[in-house]
Structures are given as structure tokens and as C-alpha cells.
Amino acid sequence: MTQTALRHAPNLLSALRLLAAPFAAWLILEDRNTAALLVFAACGASDALDGWLARGYGFTSDFGAWLDPAADKLLMLLCFTALYGVGATPAWLLGLVVGRDAAIAGGWLVVKAAKLSFQPRTLLAGKLSTAAQIGYILLALALLALEIAAPTVTGVAAAVTGLLTVASGLAYAGLFLRSDVWGNRSPS
């Protein structure tokens, strides 16, 4: 594979993940849990690979910086929604995940619309929340695929995921509120 062709691999992997998100959710809703688990795991592997290629070889782009997290968020939101649809995720956890992401997206829209000077950054709380959400989905899909009912395990996993999701949302809200965005507009 040539250097030029390899340069586009991270965005191609992200685009494939974006396309796989509704497929994974459909598989969950159709009770094809082993296939859903494999698709979700393959998406995780592709995310790791595209990140390694982008950072390791400098194959980054503004489009990729938007596409990669969009693909990840769509995959997570659709899988959580589908898991709720089949009764494998409580409504409160789905609400926390969707609410946190909506609040972060809304905050970013406010920053852009008001032309505020703000540099977003990834916080440890955000990484922990994402890891917990991925782990929760993998656990739920594995239990569904193996046809194992483990309400105590899933309850604890949901509680931990919910707490980390709330902590992450609060951390990002604090970052936004403590920043110098208020009254610091960039030139038009």
C-alpha cells in the first residue's frame, strides 16, 4: 500500500465505523447478538487502528478530527438505544448517556454560534466514561450472545457507567464554565 493510499486509511476506517453503527443496532434489535458483539468489537479494533495510523504516521486531518468522534458517538448511542429496545439497558442509563452527549454538543454549538474563544480538550473523566460505556456495551452484548442472565452484574455495571457518565458531564460543564469563554469573543 502506498503512502498516499495509506494516508486515507484512518478516514476510511472511521467512515466504515459510521456505516457499521446502524448495522450493529439492527443486529441487536433482531436478536443476532453474537453478530452484534463481533461488529461492535470490530468497530473498537478499527477505532484503535485508525487512531494509531493517524497519530503514528501523522495522517491527521480536520475532516478526520470530526469524522472519528462522530462515528464513535453514533455507534455508542445507537447500541445503547438498541440495548434499551431489547430490555438490556435501563432507561435512566440511556438518558444519562444521551443527555451528556447532547449537553456537550449543545455547549459546543453555543461556543461556535457566539464565536467564543475556547479550546476543547479531552478530560480523564471523559476517557473513563467512554471506557465504561464501551465496557458496558461489550458486557451486555456478551451476556445476550451467551444467553446469560446476570442482573446483579449488569446492575453494578450500569451504576458504575452511570456514575462515570455523570462525573464526565460535570467535568466538561466545569471546564466550560471555568474557561475564559465568557466575554472572550474571537474576531468576526
Q: Kindly tell me if the per-residue pLDDT of 142 is higher than 80.
A: yes
Please give the Cα distance from 126 to 175 (Å, whole number): 12
Top-confidence residue, 177 or 161: 161
Please give the Cα distance from 103 to 98 (Å, whole number): 9
Most confident listed range (68-77, 92-101, 165-174): 92-101
Most confident listed range (58-67, 122-131, 168-177): 122-131
Q: How far is Cα of residue 65 from the mean position of the Cα atoms in its chain?
A: 14
Q: How far is Cα of residue 78 from the mean position of the Cα atoms in its chain?
A: 10
Average model confidence (pLDDT) across the chain: 87
Cα-Cα end-to-end distance for the chain: 43
Catalogue the long-range contacts made by 24-28 (C-beta closer than 8 Å, 24 or more residues apart).
24/75, 24/78, 24/79, 24/82, 25/78, 25/79, 25/81, 25/82, 26/82, 28/79, 28/82, 28/83, 28/85, 28/86, 28/141, 28/144
Please give the Cα distance from 78 to 23 (Å, whole number): 9
Domain spans, the chain: 1-86, 88-188
pLDDT at 136: 97
